[in-house]
């Protein structure tokens, strides 16, 4: 099997969609000798902030000297981003071997009528690879929900975190915050240790607290008043907590809350016997990186790339733009059809003088004309385009050095446009 064939094998499983339940992943992992039983985990669920918090925690653990696995979704540039050890993606050769192995086990199940989904397949692959490479700890991001997510097949983790919860995937997880919180709370294991993102709706907090009580799990909620923000720029946020000064490269007020949640997880890991110095903590936070999370592509003209795709992400982007980007703003925007584009545009649409819409190369994309129709309600000038390349050209046509270009709405858009965006901004600087 070649690497290209391996990717095709994984992608072919998209047709099975999302199927709630842990029975298939349990059977698949049994055929692989249950690699998850050989690993220690930090498990992270939530609507927003999962990826950032996972990245912060894994970066700190690496600096502390632990062989650290990181499993995240979605990817931005390369499918292999989803599987990392000590900051390095799985190699094409290793991924191909793992796909061959997991595929054989999956086909045995499928011969008996058990269709393995893409996420179940790659989760089993990740567990097997992490165990084969003898990871000391794996930071594990939930794919969707929590209770029936394939990652929830693990036993009680060393620590768990539940990040900001808002309305997303309502057709699958429920149409109220309480229902969604109930699904996220599914990762809380008997006797577990849980950190809850500090600002949550009361109904969310009530569900998490009740679940912890029922399962004998301890709950920590970071106290915002105990952290002091020392400074914030487009390039990151500095804050003090417990006498420590910490800096993250992530932009936005919400990133302090993400970082505080990660900090409390690190404290729990210390209680569990992990040796993590303050130096490792500081360096881990400072060196964390994720592409397309309010990523500064260019300073002059300013260009930001943000893959956030739901109303909570839109609120965070709005706060950052209002605080740090006061001039004329132009947007390139693409979204998936199953996301709440109207609410996202209601929040950020009025901030732009021009919005150029496009449809990322994905079967779930919202057509550019449909997105433009919604955008016209909130922005005076909206231009639908056929491709992401055309959208970029239209957005940059009259872009001045004091203007800002914001590319947002989807990680699929970020994936498709990031390299050409960097190239065009570099060319603009040399004019």
Domain coordinates in residue numbering, the chain: 3-286, 295-429
Nearest to 404 by CA among 344, 322, 286: 322
Topology of 295-429 in CATH? Answer: 3.90.190
Beta-bridge partners for 137: 68
Please, what's the b/e burial string for 334-370 (b: 16 or more CB within 10 A of its CB; e: otherwise)?
A: bbbeebbbebbbebbbebbebbbbbbbebeebbebeb
363's tokens: 């079967």
- The domain defined by 3-286 carries CATH number 3.40.1190.10: yes
370 touches 376 (CB < 8 A): no
The Cα–Cα gap between 289 and 56 comes to 8
Predicted structure pTM score: 0.86
Beta-bridge partners for 237: 232, 248
One pLDDT digit (tens) per residue for the chain, 431 residues = 999 999 999 999 876 566 778 999 999 999 999 999 999 999 999 988 899 999 999 999 999 999 999 999 878 778 999 999 999 999 999 999 999 999 999 999 999 988 999 999 999 999 999 999 999 999 999 998 899 999 999 999 999 999 998 865 544 565 688 889 999 999 999 999 999 999 998 999 999 999 999 999 999 999 999 999 999 888 899 999 999 999 999 877 788 999 999 999 999 999 999 999 999 999 999 999 888 888 999 988 999 999 887 888 899 899 999 999 999 999 999 999 988 999 999 999 999 999 999 999 888 899 999 999 999 999 999 999 999 999 999 999 988 889 999 999 998 899 899 999 988 888 766 55
CA-to-CA separations, 155 to 103, 167, 191, 309, 401, in angstroms, rounded: 24, 28, 11, 31, 53
232's tokens: 């914030």
DSSP 164: B
Q: How far apart are the first and last CA of the chain?
A: 46
91 touches 296 (CB < 8 A): no
Cβ neighbours, 10 Å, residue 171: 8
Nearest to 360 by CA among 320, 309, 310: 309
Radius of gyration of the chain (CA): 21
Residue given tokens 């983790």 in the structure block: 157
CA 83 to chain centre: 13
The Cα–Cα gap between 344 and 184 comes to 23
Beta-bridge partners for 196: 162
Q: Which residues contact 77 (CB under 8 A, 6 or more apart)?
A: 291, 415, 418, 419
35 touches 29 (CB < 8 A): yes
415 touches 390 (CB < 8 A): no
Cβ neighbours, 10 Å, residue 175: 9
Angle at 163 between CA 159 and CA 188, to 5 degrees: 45
The Cα–Cα gap between 157 and 431 comes to 53
Asked if 3-286 and 295-429 have one fold, the answer is no
- Per-residue DSSP letters for 239-291? EEETTEEEEES--SHHHHHHHHHHHHHHHHHHHTT----HHHHHHHHHT---T
Beta-bridge partners for 407: 305, 332
Looking from the CA of 301 toward its CB, the CA atoms found within 13 Å total 23
């Amino acid at each position: 099997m070649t690497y290209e064939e391996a990717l095709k094998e994984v992608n072919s499983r998209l047709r099975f969609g999302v199927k709630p339940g842990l029975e298939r992943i349990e059977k698949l992992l049994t055929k692989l000798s249950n690699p998850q039983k050989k690993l220690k985990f930090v498990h992270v669920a939530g609507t927003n902030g999962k990826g950032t918090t996972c990245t912060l925690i894994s970066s700190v653990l690496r600096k502390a000297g632990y062989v650290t696995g990181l499993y995240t979704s979605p990817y931005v540039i390369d499918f292999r981003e989803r599987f990392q050890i000590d900051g390095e993606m799985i190699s094409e050769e290793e991924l191909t071997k793992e796909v061959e192995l997991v595929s054989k086990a999956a086909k045995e199940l499928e011969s008996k009528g058990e269709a393995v989904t893409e996420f179940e397949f790659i989760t089993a692959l990740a567990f097997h690879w992490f165990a084969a490479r003898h990871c000391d700890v794996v930071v594990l991001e939930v794919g969707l929900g929590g209770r029936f997510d394939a990652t929830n097949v693990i036993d009680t983790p060393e620590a768990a975190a539940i990040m900001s919860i808002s309305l997303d995937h309502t057709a699958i997880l429920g149409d109220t915050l309480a229902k969604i919180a109930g699904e996220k709370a599914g990762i809380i294991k008997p006797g577990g240790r849980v950190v809850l993102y500090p600002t949550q709706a009361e109904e969310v907090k009530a569900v998490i607290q009740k679940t912890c009580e029922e399962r004998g799990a301890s709950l920590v909620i970071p106290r915002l008043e105990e952290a002091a923000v020392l400074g914030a720029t487009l390039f990151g946020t500095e804050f003090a907590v417990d006498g420590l000064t910490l800096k993250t490269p992530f932009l936005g007020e919400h990133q302090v809350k993400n970082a505080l949640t990660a900090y409390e997880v690190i404290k729990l890991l210390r209680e569990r016997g992990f040796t993590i110095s303050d130096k490792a903590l500081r360096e881990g936070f400072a060196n964390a990186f994720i592409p397309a999370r309010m990523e500064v592509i260019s300073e002059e003209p300013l260009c930001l790339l943000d893959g956030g795709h739901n109303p909570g992400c839109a609120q965070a982007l709005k706060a950052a733009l209002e605080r740090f980007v006061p001039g004329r703003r132009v947007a390139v925007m693409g979204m998936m059809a199953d996301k709440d584009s109207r609410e996202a545009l209601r929040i950020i649409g009025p901030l732009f003088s021009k919005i150029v819409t496009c449809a990322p190369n994905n079967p779930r994309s919202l057509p550019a004309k449909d997105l433009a129709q919604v955008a016209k309600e909130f922005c005076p000038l909206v231009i639908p385009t056929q491709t992401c390349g055309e959208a970029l050209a239209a957005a940059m046509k009259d872009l001045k050095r004091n203007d800002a270009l914001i590319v947002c709405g989807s990680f699929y858009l970020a994936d498709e446009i990031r390299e050409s965006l960097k190239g065009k901004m570099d060319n603009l600087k040399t004019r």
